[in-house]
Structure formats: C-alpha cells, structure tokens
C-alpha cells in the first residue's frame, strides 16, 4: 500500500482484509493504526469508512497525511482500543461491521532507538507506547527482585527469570539501569543462548514492555469492547505475535463461542452462556513462506477471526 507510513510492513494484510470482507457503505475499526497498513487495505478494498485508533501520539501525528488522503472516509483518533466503545460513542457510532487488532509493538516503535523497545540498539530504557507514565527504567530500578522475577516469568515466559532478576538487582545497586544496551548485555551474561539463535534478551524485553503498557489487560478490555460494538454478522480479526497474546484471544473466542471445556470429565456440566461469537479459525492463520522471507518479523504472527452472532452484546 503506497499510502502506508514509510518502513511499515503490515503482517498478514491480505488475510486480515479478506477476513473482514469490507463492503461498500460498511464501517470498520482499526484498533491499532500503527503505520496505517490495515486501515488503507480496508479503504482500498471497498468504499467504506474506517475509524482508526492508536495509543501512541507519534503514530497519530505521523498518520495525519493518510487521514487527509482518505478524508472523509477515515477518522484517526488517539486513544486505547480498550476504550473503543466510548471512543466510538463520542463519534456518534454505536455499531461497526468489523474490528481488527494488530497486537504488540509496531515496526516504527521498534525501529526507533529513542523509544527504548529494542535491545538491538542503544537507547533510553523507555518502552512507553503512550510516552507517559512509568517507564521500563522506572520498573527495572524500583521493583523489588521478587516482583521482577514474576514479571519476567509471567510476561516473558523466561525460564531463568530469577537469575535475571538477581542480576538486575545487583547491577542497579552500583548504578541505575537506564539504557537498553546496559540491560541487554546484563541479560546476555546470565541467560544462555538458545539453539534457535534467539537473542537471550528477547524474553526479558518482551516482559518489560507488556508490563509497562499493561498489554494483556488492554487486550482483555479490547476484546470485550470489540464484541460489544460489532453488529450482527460483523467480524473480529486479531493478529498476535507470541503465545500469551494468542492464548488470550483463543480463550476469549472459545468462551464466547460456547466451547469452554469442563474442568474434568468427572465434574458436573457447568452452566454456559449463550454463544455470541462464531469461531472462524479453529486453527490460527499463519503467514506463508514468501511473507516470512520478505518480512522475518512476520514469522511468529497468528491471525484469529470470529463473527458476531445475534444482536449486540
């Protein structure tokens, strides 16, 4: 898409647009505008309208050129997708025909060293998507060792979480940890390199980013909000990049589709709520070999799609 922001490579673009199947006169939400890839894909596919949301003020500012190009069919709003229902209501919109969410950090955020998301370049240990509130440096230097270990384990699934937390606690005793390279080098000294070649700092940085931005809490709120604003027959398409996100999306869709397993085969059947979503992807859609070759960051992407049943929840 020529209208997307420079350097932005939307993952599973065709699959997301195909899943939402935009129609002329329809209204759609891109809850994670980023570089505008999914937004422009929808607008180019049909004569529809898109309300795009992003919590990053830099993304909203950079996206104004796209908003002007597609005016009046595109409305770009700064905010969290977890507040989608309220944001849409403020625009006079109660129902939409589709919602897409592209979870995690965007390429533009990741590639700018000054945002502090990447361990591949030296920058301030920041990681705040909204550029406000406590930063990753605040968390690293102020949380106690046990809390850090829990964060690294829970959000990064880091097997050596206690070892990393102990190393952080010892290092910050000598001097505050304020740079991405300082933290990455520290982690590399205590976490062995895995056979798959993934950088040892990957899981620690993922965990901090998720904690700083409350990404899993925001995802939970965003999924519920998307369900509430979808019209009957409207679709939800969510792209995730790691197991924690994908598991949350899978569990949400399965629960809303009435497919919650019993705790054990001996337990009495529990009272289940009426299904509100139809699960259209029992197995998530993954990028093809060609896409991964062109964009290695796409390799872990997974797309899940659901369709709204009945009336609004």
DSSP 192: P
Q: Which three-class secondary structure state does DSSP give residue 303? A: strand
CATH 1.10.150.170, domain 119-213, yes or no = yes
| β-bridge partners, 78 | 54
| β-bridge partners, 29 | 51, 99
Angle at 231 between CA 100 and CA 252, to 5 degrees: 55
Q: pTM of the predicted model, to two decimals? A: 0.90
Closest Cα to residue 298, out of 289, 307, 306, 311? 289
How high is the mean pLDDT in each 10-residue block of the chain (313 residues)?
57 97 98 96 98 96 96 97 98 97 84 86 94 96 98 97 98 97 97 89 96 97 98 98 95 90 54 84 95 90 95 45
| β-bridge partners, 96 | 230
Task: Give the tens place of pLDDT for each residue, 152-185.
Answer: 999 999 999 999 999 999 999 999 999 999 999 9
Q: For strand 49-54 and strand 74-78, is the pairing parallel, antiparallel, or unpaired?
A: parallel
Tell me the CATH number for domain 13-108+215-308.
Answer: 3.40.50.150
For the chain, the C-alpha Rg in angstroms (whole number) is: 20
Please report where in the chains the tokens 């369900």 appear, as a residue. Answer: 227
Residues 6+ apart with CB under 8 A from 288: none
Task: Give the tens place of pLDDT for each residue, 244-287.
Answer: 999 999 999 999 999 765 555 555 555 556 899 999 998 999 99
CA dihedral 57, 58, 62, 63 (to 10 degrees): -40
| The residue count for the chain | 313
Domain coordinates of the chain in residue numbers? 13-108+215-308, 119-213
Mean pLDDT score of the chain, rounded to an integer? 92
């Amino acid at each position: 898409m020529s209208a997307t922001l420079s350097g932005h490579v939307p993952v599973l673009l065709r699959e997301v647009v195909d899943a939402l199947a935009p129609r002329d006169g329809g209204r759609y939400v891109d809850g994670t505008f980023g570089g505008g890839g999914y937004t422009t894909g929808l607008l180019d596919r049909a004569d529809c309208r898109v309300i795009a949301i992003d919590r990053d003020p830099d993304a909203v500012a950079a996206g104004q050129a796209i908003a002007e190009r597609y005016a009046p069919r595109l409305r770009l709003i700064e905010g969290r997708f977890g507040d989608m229902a309220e944001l849409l209501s403020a625009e006079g919109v109660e129902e939409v025909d589709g919602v897409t969410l592209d979870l995690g950090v965007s390429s533009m955020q990741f590639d700018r060293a000054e945002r502090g998301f990447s361990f591949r370049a030296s920058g301030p240990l920041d990681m705040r998507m909204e550029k406000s509130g406590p930063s990753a440096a605040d968390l690293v230097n102020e949380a106690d060792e046990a809390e850090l270990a829990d964060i690294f384990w829970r959000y990064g699934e880091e097997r050596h979480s206690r070892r990393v937390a102990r190393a952080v606690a010892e290092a910050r005793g000598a001097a505050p940890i304020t740079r991405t390279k300082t933290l990455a080098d520290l982690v590399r000294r205590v976490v062995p390199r895995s056979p798959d070649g993934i950088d040892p700092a990957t899981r620690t940085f993922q965990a901090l980013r998720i904690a700083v931005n409350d990404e899993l809490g925001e995802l939970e709120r965003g999924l519920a909000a998307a369900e509430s604003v979808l019209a009957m027959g409207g679709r939800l398409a969510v792209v995730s990049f790691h197991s924690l996100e994908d598991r949350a999306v899978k569990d949400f869709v399965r629960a809303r589709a009435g497919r919650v397993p019993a705790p054990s085969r001996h337990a009495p059947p529990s009272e289940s709520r009426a299904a509100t979503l139809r699960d259209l992807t029992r197995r998530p859609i993954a990028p093809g070999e060609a896409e991964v070759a062109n964009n290695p960051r796409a390799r872990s992407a997974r797309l899940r799609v659901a369709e709204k049943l009945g009336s609004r929840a």
